[in-house]
Amino acid sequence: MSATRKALDNEAEEPTARQEAVLDAVLSLMVEEGDQLTMNAVARRASCSKETLYKWFGDRDGLLTATVRWQAARVRAGRYDGQNLDVAALRDSLKDFAANWLTVISSPTSIALNRLAIGHAASHKSNLGPIVLANGRFAIGERLRPVLEAGREAGLLDFDDPETAFRTFFGLVGRDVQIRLLLGDTLDMSAAEIERDAVRATDQFLALHGRKPSAPKA
């Protein structure tokens, strides 16, 4: 049972601890230096040889892909189960969800990662864009959908299409934050500010899709 198995060409392989350290080095370089993300710099930062990098990840693109996947894997957090269906719990779930999402997209790591993926979407090589999309936008959509549907089942929410409802919530939460951060604007995004934004977005969403529990429909 060797420590490196086959290499991470295919998506399935889990990186070893050492490989994770390398990927963390890539992330830190990406955040600090932005574009000075050369194979030499990675090898230096990770104290490994370029030969090892190519052995493990195939090429530069494979390294970046593995890095995106590695970061995506650790974002998984937050439990938002759709039980306890009263309006306060629903509001709390939505608010926590919004706050968590704002925290993620305003983190330096997320900003650097999205910039990288967007740059790669310009050239048509590799598919970092779809990966980031699948683990960001679409992942949270999937995670929030049960909450929304549970809210609808409980007569607390009113909407036709869960996807459309989610996109409305997404817009109310994110607004112009992500594009401004990606373009280099400096935004407050302190914990207090995020909390305020999350509450506001949640209130607005409930104002649009909340149903008065006057006729709870048995």
Least separation in angstroms between CB 59 and DNA = 4
Query: Does residue number 114 form part of the binding site for a copy of itself (CB under 8 A)?
Result: yes
* Dihedral angle computed from the Cα positions of residues 30, 32, 35 and 38, in that order, rounded to the nearest 10 degrees: -70
Taking the complex as a whole, the smallest distance from the CB of residue 40 to a copy of itself amounts, in Å, to 17
Give the one entry of a copy of itself, DNA, none that residue 79 binds, where binding means its C-beta sits below a cut-off of 5 to 8 angstroms depending on kind. Answer: none
Position 53 contacts a copy of itself (CB under 8 A): no
Which residues bind to DNA, rule: CB under 7 A?
A: 2-4, 18, 36-40, 43, 47-52, 54-56, 59-61
> Which CB sits closer to DNA, 18 or 200?
18
Which residue carries 């990927």 as its tokens? 23
For residue 169, how many other CB atoms are within 10 A of its CB? Answer: 26
207 binds a copy of itself (CB under 8 A): yes
Residue placing its CB nearer to a copy of itself in the complex, 185 or 188? 185
For residue 146, give both structure tokens.
């049960």
- Tell me how far apart the alpha carbons of residues 200 and 156 are, in angstroms, rounded to a whole number: 18
Q: Alpha-carbon distance 53 to 57, whole Å?
A: 6
Binding mask 173-192 for a copy of itself (x = CB under 8 A): xxxx-xxx-xxxx-------
Closer residue to DNA, CB minimum distance, 5 or 167: 5
- Cβ closest to a copy of itself, residue 99 vs residue 112: 112
Least gap, CB of 27 to a copy of itself (angstroms)? 14
Residues 126-155 interacting with a copy of itself (rule: CB under 8 A): 127, 129-130, 132-133, 137
Query: How many residues sit close enough to a copy of itself to count as binding (CB under 8 A)?
Result: 39
Cα–Cα distance between 193 and 202 in angstroms, integer? 14
Q: Residue 147 corresponds to which tokens in the numbers above?
A: 């909450």
Residue 147, Cβ density class (10 Å: 0-12 exposed, 13-18 middle, ≥19 buried): buried
What are the C-alpha distances in Å from 128 to residues 26, 62, 108? Answer: 15, 10, 18
Six-digit token string for 140: 């949270």
Residues 6 or more apart whose CB falls under 8 angstroms from that of 139 comprise: 72, 75
Contacting positions for a copy of itself (CB under 8 A) = 34-36, 112, 114-119, 121-124, 127, 129-130, 132-133, 137, 167-168, 170-176, 178-180, 182-185, 204, 207-208
